Amino acid sequence: MPLDPQIQLLVDNLPNGIALPIGDPVDARNLFRKLTVALRDQQAPANLAAIEDTTVPGATADQLARIYRPHADEPSATMLFFHGGGWVVGDLESYDLTARTIAERTGMTVLSVEYRLAPEHKFPAGVEDALAIADWVLANAGSLGGDASRTIVSGDSAGGNFAAIVAQETAGREVGFSGQALLYPVLDLANDYPSRSAHADGPVLTSEVSRWFGELYLDENDDLFAPRISPMHSDRVAQVVPAVVATAGFDILRDEGIEYARRLGDAGVSTTHLHYETLPHGFFGFGPLSAAADAAITEVCTAIQTLDRA
C-alpha cells in the first residue's frame, strides 16, 4: 500500500522531505523543536483542566517534566511518557502536542519527562534516568493528581525503548505499572530486519539518521544484545504487564515492533498490536496534517484506555 497521500504531499513539497538532517546534535534539536512547536502553535488550545511544569528526580539530577491533567471528576489513571528522538533530540516542547493529545483522548493524567541526551550523556545515562523517574512515579503517582494504583508507562521510538525496559525491570513488583504502551518503539539494535532496508530512505526515520543516533548514544564496546539496549533480548518478556504496541508500515522499526508484539502474545502477555500500513514512523506527530494519522492516534488512545481496565 502507498504512503498516506496527505503525508506524501509533505514529503514531495519540503526541500529535504521530512527526515531529520544529521550533523550537529544541537542544531538537530533546535530544528526539531522549531518544527514541532510551530505545528503545535497552529492548533486550538488544549482541552485539559491544567498543564503544569515541574521536575522529577532522575538518576543524578532533577529532570524537567510536564503534567497534563484531564477534565475529570475523580482521579484518573496516570501515564509516564518518555519522548522519542533517538536518545539525541526531543524535549518537553517538542512533544507537547503529542502528550496533550494523549491526555485529551485517553482521559489520563500524563507526565511527560525529559532525560539526559546523547552525545553529552551516552548510554546508560538516559535509561538510568528513565528507571529512576519510573521508581519515583510509582511511589508518588498520587501526588500527580492521578490514581496511584493505575499507572501506565509509555513512550514513542527511543522513548518506547525506555518504556519497554521500564516495564521489564519493574515487572513483578508489588507496586508496579499496570500497563505499557509502546509507540513504534526501538527494541532491537543487535539484529537487522527487512524493514530497515525496505524503508532505509524514510520518509521520517532513515537508516542514515538511525545509524547516527546509535553512534552518538552508544560506545563501540557496548553489548547490543544487553536488555537495557535491546529489550527484545530480555529474559523477562513473559513477566511484563499488558501491552499496546503500535507499528507503522513506512518505518524502519516496523518489523522489530511486530516481532516484539508477537513475542509478548506468545509469552501469554495480554497484548493489543495495532499496525498502520500507510503511515510512517512518528505518526503521532502528523495528526493535524493527516486524517489517517489522526484516526490512528484515536484508535491507539482507545486501546490504551483498555489497559486501565485490564
Instruction: Give the CATH number, domain containing residue 283.
Output: 3.40.50.1820
Residues contacting residue 53 through CB under 8 Å, at least 6 positions apart: 64, 65, 66, 67, 92
**Active-site residue among 234, 281, 290, 308?**
281
Cα–Cα dist 53/138, whole Å: 19
Grid coordinates given for 218: 552508544
Going from the C-alpha of 288 to that of each of 6, 8, 202, 205, 283, the distances in angstroms are 11, 14, 20, 19, 10
- Per-residue pLDDT tens for 252-304? 999 999 999 999 999 999 999 999 999 999 999 999 999 999 999 999 999 99
Please identify which of the residues 251, 255, 273, 290 carries the catalytic annotation. Answer: 251
Cell numbers 488550545 correspond to what residue?
45
Contact 130, 170 (CB under 8 A): no
Asked about 281 being catalytic, the answer comes back as yes
Catalytic site includes residue 157: yes
CA 290, CA 57: separation in Å to the nearest integer? 37
What pLDDT, on a 0 to 100 scale, did the predictor assign at position 146? 77
Q: What is the pLDDT of residues 199-252, one digit of tens each?
A: 999 899 999 999 999 999 999 999 999 999 999 999 999 999 999 999 999 999
pTM of the model: 0.97
What total number of domains does the chain contain? Answer: 1
Confidence of residue 310 (pLDDT cuts 50, 70, 90): low
- Gyration radius of the chain's alpha carbons: 18
Catalytic position from the list 157, 195, 210, 290 = 157
Angstrom CA distances, 211 to 22, 189, 197, stand at 10, 10, 13
Gap between the Cα atoms of 233 and 266, Å rounded: 15
* Residue spans of alpha helices (H) in 170-275: 194-198, 207-217, 254-266
Give CA–CA dist 102/272, Å, rounded: 17
What is the span of the domain harbouring residue 245?
5-307
Instruction: Give residue 17's pLDDT.
Output: 64
CB neighbours of residue 242 within 10 Å: 20
Give the span between the Cα atoms of 284 and 260, in whole angstroms. 20
What mean pLDDT, rounded, does the chain reach? 95
What is the pLDDT at residue 16?
64
